[in-house]
Amino acid sequence: MKDLLKKLSEAHGASGYEENVAKIMVEELSLVSDSVEIDKIGNVIATKGTGDPKIMIAAHMDEIGFVVQHIDDKGFIWFILIGGFYDPTIFNSRVVIHTVKGEVFGVVGSKPPHLMEAEEKNKPIKWNELFIDIGCNSKKETENLGINIGDSITFDQSFRMLDRDTVTGKSMDNRVGCLMLIELMKRLNNPKCTICAVATVQEEVGLKGARVAASKLKPDYGVILDVTFGIQPGVKDREVNARLGKGPVITYVEAGGKGLMADPKLSKKIIDIAKTNNIPYQIEVTHGGMTDGAIMYITGEGIPCISVGIPTRYIHSPVEVLDIDDVKAGIVLLMKFIESF
């Protein structure tokens, strides 16, 4: 499981550029599903089982990233953001630019502190003042490497084990959900209902893939797999109460009601299952952050949905941290939930 998570985490796929991740998902899901397809927008849809109800289980493939906007005369690359960032997390990062000729590595640079005035040092870092240095000295040199406006850019960050079963890496949001989709389909034997495992695109820029997939599949129920906030210094206990290693998180309310409002019957059902089977779980409501469920549950005539999240620290950074034990418990809980139908 860790090897597959490493493979998924280190794959590159900013919103709208998910092809590399989709390739992994197709390869893995084809081994354990009745059918696999890629729809017109790029969602990977794997199906297993027949009969009612039809349950759509969604996890998004995309990660936050950047796109080349401009190459200046000195060969430096300027970019725009794709997805939500806290600007200081970009500062001095290593990145990969994905070109028609292959990967080009670079670093995010800024003015040296030695040359800054006092007021410059004290002002917040802004993304649009940062640039990417790939070691070239002219626009022509940069373009000769195959770099063009519109190329996607992602963090250059390796997967690492920390203490116990805790891991860190980029794009755990939401490659861990993709891992759970694959593991779930592996373990489902002759389900008595229809399971549609959907690896969605463009979640980070407006939940777009989930809308398309839900419109196409018209499921009876939806389950969203994603990350959620984990306790860490700097956040208040009343804002975040999910701890790493204490089980997956069932979310009742996302983004103060602007996101998913979980179906009460499904929420009670999955919590009862967790209690009956002694599966650790946690509960949360949030005033920030949305998942694919925010759009799925209001698609068509409405789809009752729940969200199962993995507690994760430093979300939307290149060093996201989570506990594999929560992933394992989440998979078991989902298995029992599906079997209950």
Whether the Cβ atoms of residue 80 and residue 69 lie closer than 8 Å to each other: yes
Query: Is the peptide bond preceding residue 113 cis, with omega within 30 degrees of 0?
Result: no
Q: Angle 123-127-129 (CA atoms, 0-180°, nearest 5)?
A: 70
Query: Is the peptide bond preceding residue 122 cis, with omega within 30 degrees of 0?
Result: no
Task: Tell me which H or E stretch contains 325.
Answer: helix 324-339
Query: Buried b vs exposed e over 165-199: b needs ≥16 C-beta within 10 Å?
Result: bbbbbbbbbbbbbbbbbbbbbeebeebebbbbbbb
Residue type, 210: A
* Separation of alpha carbons 262 and 284, rounded Å: 11
Catalytic residue among 28, 183, 203, 204: 203
* CA dist 226 → 68, 282, 289, 290 (Å): 28, 14, 11, 10
Annotated active-site residue 203? The verdict is yes
Catalytic residue set: 203
